[in-house]
Structure formats: C-alpha cells, structure tokens
Structure 1
Amino acid sequence: MIAIQGQSQSTRASEQQLANQFSKEGWICNRGVAGNKKSFDVSQSFVHCFCPPSYYGNRCEFMSDRLTVFISFKNQTNGSSTGVIKILALLVVLINHTSTVLDRHEVHFTSTLDNYKEKQKFYFIYPRPHQLRSNTHNYTVRFEAYQLHENESIEFLAVWIYPVPFNFLPSQRLAKVLKYTQQSQLALNHTCFTRYNPCLNEGRCHPIMNKLNEIHSYWCECGNNSYGSHCEFKDQSCFISSTKFNYCSPTSLCRPQYDHYGQKPLCICSMNSYGSRCFMDRQCQMKIGQNSCQNGAICFTKYQHYNLIDAYICQCPKSYFGPTCQHRSGAIEISYDNENQSVTLSGDQISATVIQLFDISDREELNLKKQVLYKDSLPSRLLITSESVIHPVFGLINLYTNQSTIQYHLLYTSSTAGSSLNLTLRFTKKNYCPHSHDIFNLRNETYKIRNVVAKYHTLCDNTTSKSSPLLCFVDDDYFCLCDINNTAQCFLYNKKFDQCKQCLAQGQCIKGDIDTPSDYLCLCPRCHFGSKCQHNTKLFSFNLDSLISPDLLSSSLVKQKLSLSKSFAQTRYPFSPFIIRFSTRLIQEQKAAEELCKFVKDNKQIDLELCGFRKSTSECLSNEFALLLFVKTSYSFFALYDENNWPQSLLGLAFSQPYAPSIPPQLSLLVKNVSLTVDFAHFTNEVEEYLAQACALICSKCMGIGHFRNQCQKKIMFAENVERFAMTLKIILQYPINFIVFITNVNICRMI
C-alpha cells in the first residue's frame, strides 16, 4: 500500500514537471512556435522560437513594421510594350553608407492579360530594432523594371526610388504611379548620357524616373560580381566555388546582396522560368508547344507569387470551359426555318427575339441560366453554349413585335440530362404559348383569378378541350406546361428577366446577357430613334431624319451602314469610324491604334491623326473583338480608306474589316437641278474628268485659296450662288469624290 502510494506520488510529480515545461514553452514564444534545440555535444537543450513574419525577436516579443504599397505602371512612350514587364520592389535601409535590402516583392504586367491599368497591392513586413529607429537611417523603396522577352532575354528598363517619410510609424502606406519614359526622350545633358561613367566595375548608369528634372540624379545597375551605390564593392556570391558555375540559371540575372538582408544573391528569372534560382520551367510555353490547356485552348502565363506551379490561365474555345478547358459545354444547335421568319403568327413584324434557358429550382421556380438577345428575327443557324456539361432542361423564345406585344414559343423541354441538342425551329401554333387572358377572353374584364386557375387543367385535356390541346401557356406570374398526363405543371416565372431601364422616351428596353450591362436593345416609339431612343423627329415637318428613321432598326447591311453614318454624324467625331475585327477579346485598344499609326508612318510616310478609338458596342461573337478608329482629318480618312495602306496584322494578330466606312457629307458634292433621267455613271465620270488633281488650299469659309479657315479675315459665311461654288471646285482632288445628288429649288446653299 505504501509502495503504491509512493509510486503514484512520483508519477504525479513527473506529470507536473512535464506540465510546467510545456506550459512554459507554450507562451514563451508569444505568437510563434516553440521548439527544443539540442546540440550533439551538450546534453542540455534550450527553447528556440520560430516567429511569424509579423513578429521578431528571440521570443517573438517585437511586432514587425508594415508598409502597404499600391503601384500601377504607365508607359508614356508611343511604342507598345510586348511580353512581360517585371517590377522588382525592394525595401532598402541605409546603414553606414551601405544599402541593405529588408524585404522584396515582384509584380508582373502582361500585355496578353491587359493588366497594365490594374493597381497592384502588396506589403513589406520587416523587423526594425531600436538601433534602426533613429532618423539617421533612411528607408527607401526602390522599384526596378525589367522587360522579359520571349527569347528568354531580360532587359533593364528603368528605376524609381521613393523615400519612406515617417520612420517612427509602425504602419505606413505608399501609393505611386510608375511612369516610364524611354531614354531617347530624356535630356541629353544628363549625367548618364555623358562620356564619363560614374559607375564602377562595368556598372550601368540609369536616370531615376521620378527625378528626371535632376540631371545629376542617377542610379547604378551593378552586374553579377559587384554591389554598392556605385558598384564599388566586389562580390562573388553569384558563382559557386572556383568553378565559376552560375548560382542562377543561365537565362536569369544574378544580383548580389539583394536577398536575405544582403547575405544571399537574388535571381531574376526570365519569362518561362521560376524558382529561387530560376532552374524550373513554367508549364505554359506556347512558343515551344508546351501547353497545359486542353481541346485546342491557348494558355497564358499569369505570374503569381503565391502559385508558381499553376500560374497560367486558358483561353477556351467556344464549346469548352473549365480551368484547363477540360469540359465540353452543353450545346444547343438551332436551325431556323426561313419561311415567314420576320413575322409572328398574327402577322406582326418581329422587332427583337430573346432566347431563355431555364432550370427548375426546388421551389418550383424557373431559374434563368442563359439569355441571348437578337435584334429583329433569329439567324438561320445559331449555337448556344452554357458553362455546364449538361444543358438546361427548358427553353423559351420571346418574340417582341412592332405592336409592343410579346409572344412566347416553347423551344424545347428535356426530361433527361444531355450534353448536346439539335433543334429545327419553326414558329407554329403547336409550340405557341398563349396568355390565359386570351384563352378565356378575359383581357378587358375583371375576374377572380382563382376561378380561372381552376380551369387550367382543362386546357391540357384532349377530351375536355374545345380546340386542340396546348403544350404551354402563360399568365401574369406563371409559365405552365402540359405533361404526358394531360395535367398543367406551372412554375413561377419572372417576366422581368429580359427587361431593363436604359431607354428614354418611354422606349421598351430588352435585356440580353444577364452578366453584360451593355447588352440591351431599345424599341423606340414612333418618331424616336437612337441606341437609347434619345433622338426625336416629331417636330420635323419633312427632312432626312423623318425619311430614314424607320430603317434604323433594320437588319440589312445597307441600312446598317446608313444607320451607322447617321448616328455617327451626331457625335463629336468628324468622320465615320473604321472598324477592324479580331478573333480574340484579349486586345489592347490603345496599343493597336499606336501600332497602326507607327506602321503607316514608317512604311507609307503618312502621319495619321486619330481623335479617338473605342470598343464597338455592337454584338459580336464571344471570341471576337471589334475596334472603332476615328480619324481627325480628311487626309487621314482617305489614307486609311485605301486598303493598301493597312498592315497585315496588328499586335501580332490577323484582323478583318467588315466594310469600309461611309464617305461623310463634308467630302461630297451637292449638285442642283439634275434631271431624274440622268445616267449617273456617265455623269460621275464626266465630273471626275472635269475636276483636276488637288494642288491648292481652299478656305471653307470664304472659298478663297491659300489660307485656312481659322486664318480667314472675311465675314462671309455662305456661298451666294452655285457659280461661285463651282469656280472654287476647279481643282483636282487627291482622292475620288462621292456625289450626293438632291433635287431642290433653293438658291443659297450653306457650306457644311
């Protein structure tokens, strides 16, 4: 009994000793993790603390300082950047006239991903002991920009250096725009451009981009064997032992004293390599055929410091989706019957068509999965894909007519899951879904809804139905289908799925893709037109607007060009736009315009003057991009009007032009009193032969020769008669003229 009691007391003592030991180690490292460190030659062990980045000290008792950095890159040169621009951000402290790197971060701007306009955010977390808290130690943030080319070469671009203003604050913020200017545009009297090189040991002198006004302010780019403010110190850490074997990979750059508080070199990797020493190859290298995407997709490297292995994205074809385009989309291929395709069953003209695909939720509601908008009627063939392997189980077509009515037609129903569906569509009474008001002739009558709903099942019954049974019908809140048991299955249907509020003048707004705010169509009331029904011709008695306004919503190519020219004439641009279409959406608008101007300048010796460019708001395919280019002068307009002045590709991509822009009225000739029986071909040829090649400058104000309009001293604003106007036109135009002939009795013509 005594032995057992003694044994239990010793056990308790050892347990208490272990508890005291582990309880001490649990709190002794603050927010860190404690570990026992024991040497081989010493029997006694001691506690070692592993601190998180936000703490430091022997017991993790000190909190690290933090600097939040926001940057964006802005290329102020005319040339477009290709490849990848790497920004190496370094937090540097000056100790005893020697720069020491405390923390670093890498940011990549990629032209293919078009992330140059995005702001990049990251943190510098660094310990700051008491001896470094004095004002004598200057903290700076240095940004070094490198151009990564596809041939694995690395080119140094520029450097920016900004001070950290308040050393005593534990948390600060730095927001900068890194503006890059090529050296050819800098001052020639800068220190770096003189014969004397202030940098030693083959270092390269670079102006500091945020101090370009200071011609004696520079920074030295040191090689792989030196460091210091002037590369005055030698360092062989980029070479391993005496074999001169590179510490970094052959395609990378090695920078001594850049890593681990200046104790290790830093490797700056090329475009297709990564890792601490850049010996690992990236999975996405389209140039050598190394593509991790499937089913014909294109991969693009997406440089992420937190995910170095799978740092790429895939641009999937239209029929595939997923991280690597591994899934085939549920596809619905529709062949549309051309017979009576532009009118409904009641004979009304179709103004817009909306296709809606639904799934049925657990609450018996129609859950919208896909919505597609088509102006006028449907094309003869179309393909609708969804971001799911299985297509939705229910399809509906809404026809909007010129009488402001909506007709519903059942597209398909699918009781079994499937990945593809082929349909041949025709609008007939069989797939027409009427409104319950029209079925019971209650459109203009007051009634109790429960009395009507009780009769819904009779509409699906073959025996009780007076007319042919229905496949579907709608009311104000529900969409009903007739099943195989002749029973009405009704689901809650939100009719506001395809409605929006973007139109003016009480126009009817029809919504397209639910994820694209700009995908909508306005059906304008009488005497209104425009993309938002913003134009009104109601007050015009008789003019060109009132003549062509009914054709602005037409689907024909000729009327589209007429509508485009008219709507363009009401913008701030003087000429119709040139439309170029690419087969990919990863297009940078500004770079495409700049490359076109550079090509015409270098190859055709023509200075193009652009006054704007933007993405087209017209509907394109999911993998297409349409760019509108607006020129400033008639000289630039006719330079681009000649297809021989265009390059074969822009940004390395082929493009197409759907049609040439319409020649604007200011480049046309107005001729009065022309007979209706005139031969226009003979007439235009005679005028072209009569007019000479342009060799004189004509003022558009007074029709005088030899000066511009803004230099004109005369007060006349009109051509008082046709004869004076004809005398002014006795020159040769450099380009062909487009003639607009009007029949009029007006004797005074105002110059446009």
Structure 2
Amino acid sequence: MMFFISLVCFILLPSINPQLQINLHLTDWTNYNEINFDLQHDCLHGPTHLIEDNIQYHQVISYCMGEWPSKWNIEENSFDQNYSFSQLKMLNVTSQQLYLWSAPMDIIEEYESYLNQSLFSNQSLALMATQLFYNCTQPRFGSVCQYSLDISTSSFSSSLKEIIHDFYLQLYEPTTWTCYTHLECNRGTSTACLDWTEICNGHIDCLNDEIDEKHCWQLELNDCEENEHRCKNGQCISKIFYHEGPNSFDCIDTTDEGDQGREDIRYRSQEPIFRFEDITREKDLRGETEMYFTTSRVLSRNDLILEDMFLNKPNSTSDECWLAYRCYFDIPNAFNPICNNICINRTCQEIINETCPDILFIPNAPLLFGHIYFAYTKEAAVEPYIRSLPPQYVCYNDQLCDGFYTNRTLLTFNNLTCRRPGDFPLKFSTLARDSWLNKYVKPLYKQLYKCNTIIYNISAVCDNSMMYQCINSSKCISKDRIGDDFIDCNYGDDEDPSVVYDICLKNESKIFFKCTTTTRCIHYQKVDDIKCDCGRNEYGLCDDEDGILRYITSHLSFQTICDGFTELIPVNIDGQNETDETECELWQCNNTYTRCDGIWNCFNGADEIHCNTSVSFSCPSNHHICVSPSTNQLTCLSLAKASDGIIDCLGATDEPELCRSISYSSTPSENTFYCFNNRSSPCRVSSDLCDGNKNCINGDDERFCSSTRNFSAYTSICQPKYYAFRSDVEKFLCERFTIWNKTLAVHFSLDTIKFNKVKNIIHSIPPAMKSIIHHHQYRCHRGLPLRIWQSREKNLTDITCLCPPSFYGNICQYQNQRVSLTMRFQAYSDSRRTLLALVITLIDDSDRRIIHSHEQLTYLYFRDCQVKFNIYLLYSIRPKNDTQNYSIHINVYDKILLTYRGSLLIPIKFPFLPVHRIAVHLNIPRINADIQSCTNQTCIHGQCTIYSEDSKGTSFCHCNERWSGKHCTIPYTCKCSSGSLCAGILANNRSLCVCPINKFGPRCLFNHTVCQTDQNNTCNNGGVCIPIDEHMQTDDKKFFCICAKGFTGGQCEIPDNKMILSFHKHIRLSQTLIIHFIKIISNSSPKNSSTLITIPIHRKTAIVNWTNEFHIAFVQLFVKDFYLITVQKRNNLSSIFEKTINPSDRCKHISEVLNETIVRLQPIRRIKYYHVPCHQSSPSLPCFFDDNHFCLCTDFNHQRIANCFEFNYMKKFDCFGGSSCKNGAQCLQDSSECPKTS
C-alpha cells in the first residue's frame, strides 16, 4: 500500500510544486571507444539568446563532461526513490512526464521504446522492465542522481538557462593556463604553452622550426569572392556581415568591425559564446597602453607569459644575480613581493658586480618575434645613481631582418647579432613613469616590425600575383600589408607612398582607399582611425575621416535647407557660389524641423518665440524674452531688434551669431554667454554663470545672480541640482545658455522635432550588476563545475567539469579544435512561409564519410530571417586527421512534408588552423527547383546530386535511408521513430533523425504537446502552431504561430490594416497598382515598402491588406501618376480604412506646380521654391514630387508649407537583386531587410 501512495505522491508533487528541469544528454556511453574517440558525452545544453547592435543571435552551447564517468565508482543510491519501467507503465506515466521530471534523455528514450512493446522480443521487454528511473532530489540529477552543479544559485533562478547565465556574470581572470596541445611548441620558457590564437597570428611564438607560423603563408594567398570581405588575416566572410555592428565580430581577428575589436573579455563576462571564445586580439594596438605577448583575449594570460619569461633564467646565472637585476631596475615591473628580501645586506649593484656575468639576456627568452632579446652588461648596471636601465644591446637573428645602420661595431652573443640601440637606430619612451615594458619593449614592436619575418625566400609564394617582392631582399609580403603603417620590408619600401599608389592604381589589391581630395591611396585600416591620412580639403574635411560630415556637406537635405547653418560645400553655378543657405527669401524658416529646437534658425529667432517654458514670464507675439542689461530683470524685445547688430540683452541673447560656432569640419553649436568688452574669450558657457567668479571683465556673468539665497553655491547655479533655487532670470539664462549642438543629420518627421540638450553620460556598471559580478577562481576555466556524488552515505564526492565546446579536459584546461560556424539564411518568396529542417553536419572525405558532429535547426523565414545562427562543430577524434579534408554539409528538408529540398556545401580550407571561423550568408534552395542530378559519382544506394548554388558544380552521393558512406555502400540500422526521416549515422553510432513537426528528441520519440492543446490558447484565426525547439523554449514562449494572411501578432490575434480604396470615375486605372508605404523612424531615414495589387478591368475598387507599420501611403497608377491615400502621425493597428481617391488627391510633378525656369534650375537652387506650391495652390495641393523627393503640403503655424522626404519613383523594382520575375516584370518586396511578401 505504501508503495502505491509513494507512486501517487511522486506523480502529483511535480505538478503541485514545479521543479527545475535539468535533462542530461548523451549518457549512454557504454558503446563508445574511450581510446579512439573523443566524442561529447554527459552533456547539458544551455541556450543563449543575445540581441546586440539590433542583431539577434541563436546559439545552444553543449557543456560536456571532460572525463569518462567510468573512472568513478558510484555506490548504489538508497536515498532517492527509484521506479522500474514496469511500475511507471502501470501508473500510465508518460515519457513526456519523465522529461519534465529531469530524467536523462537516454533513459526517457529507453522508456518510450519500452512502452512501444511491439518492437521488442519478450526477452528484451523483460530486461527493459527492470530498468530503473531515479526520482532525484534537487539539486541532484543524472541516471542515479550522481551529479549536482557546484554553483551557488540564486533563489530567483527558475531555469538551467538562468543558472548558467548568472554563473558567467562572474569575472574570468584565471591564474593557470589553458593550452592548445595539438601542436608541439617550445616557447623558450619553462611552463608557458601555446594558445590557439597564437597560431597564424603573424608572430613567431614557437622556437622549434617556427611551427606555429609554418603553413600560414597559405592565408596570405587566399583570395576572396566578390560577395566576400577579406579579413586582415586572410579569412573570407560574407560581405553582408562587414561593419554590421561594433560588437558583431565575424572575422576571427575582429577587423570586420574596426577598432571596436579592442573590447576586453575581463570587463564583459558572459557565456562562452563566439564573441568571446573565437576571436583574437592584436599584440600591439595603436592607442593601447599595454604591451601584449599573446593574441588571446584573456588578459591574465599575458601576465602568466610575462611571469614565466622571468622564471627561465640562464643556468650559469645565480638566483641572487638574477633577482638583483630584476629588483633594482624594476624588471619587468615594480612592487614585486619577492624583492622585499633581496639586497638587504648588500646593495643590488654590489650583488650584480660580484655575482653576475659580464653580459646576459634579461629575460632569457625572446621578447619580440621569436628572436629579439635584450642584453644587459654588468658595466652599465653598476653605474652609480642608475635606477632605470635600458638594454645595452638588442640582439636578433640577422638572417631575418636587415636595413640598419652600416659600419657599426656588432657583438655576437649566443649565436645572435647584437647592436647598441643607437646603431639601429631605436628610440625608447622618455616618460619617467612608464613601466619597463612600456618604456623599452613596446616601442620596439613597431620599430623592429620588419624583423617579424613569417614569409621569407619561398619562391613558390613570392611569385604569386598577390605578393609583393621587397626591394634588395628575398623577402615577400602580401600586397594587403602594403601601406598598413607597419614596415615589413627591410628597407621600408612597403610603406613608400609611391609603391602604395602604384599598387592601388593598378587595382592589385582590394584593401586600398582612394582619396578624392588628393592623389593619395591609403590602406583601409587607416580609414576612421581618428587620424587624417588623405589630407584635409579647403573646408577642413578629410576623406578618410569625418564620414557623417562628408555626407552632410555633399548631400542635399530638405530638412536642413535655409536653417541658418551652412552645411553644403559651395557649388559654383553661373559664377555664383550656391549653398543650402543662399537664395532663402522664399523659404519658411520657422518649420517642423526648426521650431523650438533651442537654436535660432531664422535670422531673427522667430522659430524660438514662446519656446522657453522655464519661467512664467511671457511676452507678446513677435517678441523675445530678454534680460535687460540695465535692470538685470526680464523684459521683452521685439523681433525687429533681434540680430540687428546691436546688443540689447544681457549675454547677447538677441545676437547669438556672436558666439555661434560654424565649421564644416565640426558640429555647429551656439548659445554661450557673451561678455561685454571682453576682447579675448568673450563667450562663456553656462557653468561660468553665478559661480562666484567674475569670468567677464565687467562681471556680466555675476551681476544678475540672486543675493537672497540662504546657502552658498560653490559651483554654478546652472548645475541641475540647484534648479529649484534659481530665480526666474537665472532659470531663463541657464536654459538659454545650455550648449546645444545642432543635430547633424536631421531626418524626415511629421512632428516638430524637440531639441536635445547635451548631457554628460557616465558609463558605469549598475549596482545590481556589481552585486552579482565578483572575482571567482575558475577551477573549470570556462566550464561549469560538477560535483560527483560517489557515496551519499559517506558523503564522498569529487569535482569534475562540464566543458563548453571550445575546451576539454578534467578542468577544461585544453583548447579544442573546432569549427565556429555563423550562418544567416535568405529564402526566396516560395519558401518564406515554409517550415524547414536544416541538418548541419561536419563530414570528412573518407570512404566512410564520417559525420563527426552535427546540429539541427528548425528554420522559419518569417521568424528567423534576421537571426545569426552560431554553431560549434567538433571533430570526433583528437587531434583531427590532418591527412583528411573536412567540409560542412547542410541538408534542407521540408519539416511538414519531410521531403528533401537540396544540400549546401561549405568547404573547410587550411587544415593547419586549430579554429575555423566561418561566417556565411546562404540561400535556401527554391521549392520548385529540380534537384540537379549528375553522373560523375558512383552512388550504389543513392543519387548523384549537385550542391545547390555551387558555382563549381560540386557533386556528392545523397544516400537512401539506412545507407551511408561516400558511395552509399555502408548499411546502418536506423533507430529513428516511425514517421521520421533517417538522415545518416553519426560517429557515435547514433542515428541522425529529422522529426516531424509534432515530435522531438534525438530519435523523435517524444510528442510536442504544446500545439495539441486548445487552439484558442495557441494560434488564432487559422494560424498554424509551431513548437519552438526544446532548447530554446522559455516558460512564456513555447510555440510560434505562422499566421494566415491578414493576421499578425504572437498568436495571430491582430488583423492586418485593411484599405478599401475606391477610385473616382474620371481616374484612369491600370490593371496593376503599386501601393507605397512610408514608415517614419526616429533618428533615421524613413523606410519605404511597396506592394502590388491587381484589379479586374472596369473595376474601380481595390482592397489592400498591410501587415507592417506605416505613416504615409500613396498609390502609383503609372510612371508619374501618384495619389495620396493617407497621412497619419500615429500608426493605427488593425484599422479598416476606406477612402475614395479623387482627382484632388493627385500628387503633381514639380513641372506642373512651378514654372519652367524654376524647374530647370539646379536642385540646390530649385528646392528653395518648394514651399511656394503649397502656399499658392488652390484648391489645396496635397502633394508633389520631383526626381528625388516626395513632398507633402501640410498645415503649420496657420500656413501651408512643404515637408519632403527622399523618394525615387524611377527606382528599379528587382527585390534588391533577388527577383525571380521573368520577361521584364518588376519585383516588389514589403521590406528591404527582411521581406515577408514579394
């Protein structure tokens, strides 16, 4: 009886008191060969969901055990209740319930197989019936409750995802090494090992045959396709990812996002995602304050390398001598604790003189490029009063660099050539406070960069057209390194402007930027690096800098025409210099874009009348508030006296041009307090007002200050904290003289744009974050600590680690060979509403065509078109087989029909690399595209198939189910559930299954129940419910809806906007109408989307359904025939809009509303007449257009004025290059970035 009571409690309690769900994967490892295979096992899957720089990322990280569980002798668990499969079946327990109760996935699958008894013999069933499920007491989990995460969790952590996320908020500052051990490397020191980032990083780290850079010349010769961007290290990425966002790194060296790649992992701790684990850093970055000996992002590794350098003293040198040198001269830094016990009985110089050799290397390891050492002499060290000691000699391998001063006395020491620093010549830092590293080592990095010789005297390489042969040298370098500000050639010819210009002119490299103001060419690395390399033009602008300013000064913008600030560089027309501020007589300067923006845009400041709300004092219309210089009280000043050249108001508020800053090369600003009679520095900022100091000669900045306050302000009364204590005069002047920078790029808007005051923003870590982030000694490095409960009775435990894919080992101390794959997919219009299964596999080219690892994605373009999928793929053996070629093979299936759509191939080049960082933009095969067959492959049980969109026509054997291998000759047993697809056999002998939509799990044995509930709780209005992948589900998001046309929203609950358009009988219609929708975006250009509808002949009514947000809509009947539909400041969701389009709604071409003389003017002159048609037209003109603008006539301040945005009615509609239309038809999409319809 008690047994049944316990069973009932066991079943009911989880539903009453929900528990944390932790399902362990890949626990059935009994068939693995622990010697030959290094397969992942005993894993937790942790999803990461990151949105940064408006980019959405998808990545699931597998944290797998770094040791085999067989090493522990786990005693029988008598503390947690266990149940046999037969007992669970008797109570109708489902596999879904075991899943929710944190059972390991392999046990759940075994139980589901047991329930499906028809598949097994009686003997097998009897054996399975005795298999046990343990109901673990949290926080323990595992097949016999033998594991628990050794992590302090918050009581608020409700999921494994949250626990992992919170754990990785701790700072990662390891004090021990992680190592890449698959390349034997002698660094010349005792314990330092190789980091994966130090292979092919352009610097020799291994002294044994320079093995870390031996094959890297192949990267120098790597040429990228037209649709690819070439990273500095030679890697190619899809061009669409270039400059995508400051923290979106796709180049392994981060050069796709420029200087933003300097971010420090120490300050931005997070899960071990690509952004932190799979990028490198430069050893020496311009502007950095430190010298780095590693390209690893983990900065504490630099400290470990430096420490190790000085542990490796020469055998012939005593400890006393070695430490005396280091302690006396602060090598490599001061405050070394060991120095407290050195030089006590004798001075350090006495110890050096008595115990040290005449010359020695300090440190006894190369400091730069694998062969440059510092040599110190006893003679110099014992000089009196010397505390900062530069090296007396710099020693190097003279076979690797040349081009120094000749006729100098050289010294040979330890088989190296040694020169005195002045004989190179070399210059050290003169800053007294600089450390030894920054004073002596760092300056040499750039000065001796030509000694960093990776490619040297290899004719097969140097003869390549992508290489440059250095003058008077057998050395050659990639042409992409020419002009990069680092001297690679012995005689510096690679930085000679004439060489740079010659290669740039011949277009022999894509890495150069051509200046327009001069004839120079510069390396793209120098663009936007804060230094002007092209030279400034007569207006102070620089081609390679000032990007936004250069655009503004050359781009005609309606929003900034005649606003009182000259943005456009003058254009000479008929002998006259024309700008955006000439011929402004007919311009309405008080408009949507200038009204109350804090700046006098109109000459007399009419646009700022009645805008000051800080005081209750008011003036009549056409008057400004003013502080009288004679009474220091508020008064009113008529517009006629504003900007008349005579100062009428204190601080010259009526003459703002006196303190207005206008420059093409800087941001315009105004509103500083003007001091009477100050010949120098007459303009003062608001922080100078009422601060107790007379900053103006006559004390103008203090004379109006209140004397009745009962406290002393030690800073200006204009400080925000004193707002409540200001008088009305102080309030007015403080606000008036708050510095306002004019907005550089003003974008189209229907509302008056309010000004933004300049504020100082202090970036800091929120207090809540500070309480979470704390130092933690990472025993498992970047892994999760896992406690092994060997004996609960004896309280006997051990600690191991669950390692992320980038590491392995018992403490995750070894760096893994891996493929880091980033993908974004584009689908043609025929596949945008189709649910797809993408099976991504890492395969080799052996006859077995082994699937080393895989990931499977459920992809829906509507949901995922903007997502970047990050996937780790690992090799099934360590190290990988260097004699084999590997590639990424992607099979595409229709998830609903389970039909094969095609395959994509991503070759993996450069097998010597430890980490392959691949970033690709891929097209999903069309639904109606025939799978191309071939005959050049012998496929016994399969079909010869050509990869989709493969320009080389690469083919492979697509095997039938239950067959594998290069030629489909190897049979295998498929263990996938019925109704699913067998897509192959994995290296761990498990089946690779593609599940139908209602199933999930490795073998598709589990039912998705979320979409089997009442449809009213899932998708409404005919929407199709799609379960979200189990690893990406959250408590509030377990399904996604594919909405029927006409509906949107998370549950298809929002009807689309519906337009019912009727056309006046006198309007001639075509059979196809283009509806243009304009969406206004704050601080950005408006977004234009279009759709095409057809109407039968003789019909005068059209119905348009539109899902997206919009503010302006107009219909295009023919090439120059537009009618305004609606203008709405706020988008109305689910609205039904009915309108009859009348002839009066027609938008006229500019030639119809302005005379021919004006129409023929240059655009810079013609646009200044654009308010005129709105003023003069009767009846009211709704809109008009020219070749580049679409203009609305709007009511503003009791007048009709124009408001224009850029619109090109002649633009070719080709779906942004993805058109599938034929016979000259146009293709329209509802969006340029992620179109849903076309």
Q: Shorter-normalised TM-score: what interval?
A: 0.3 to 0.5
Q: Determine which structure has greater relative contact order: mean sequence separation of CA pairs < 8 Å that are 6+ residues apart, divided by chain length.
A: 2
Q: TM-score, normalised by structure 1?
A: 0.38
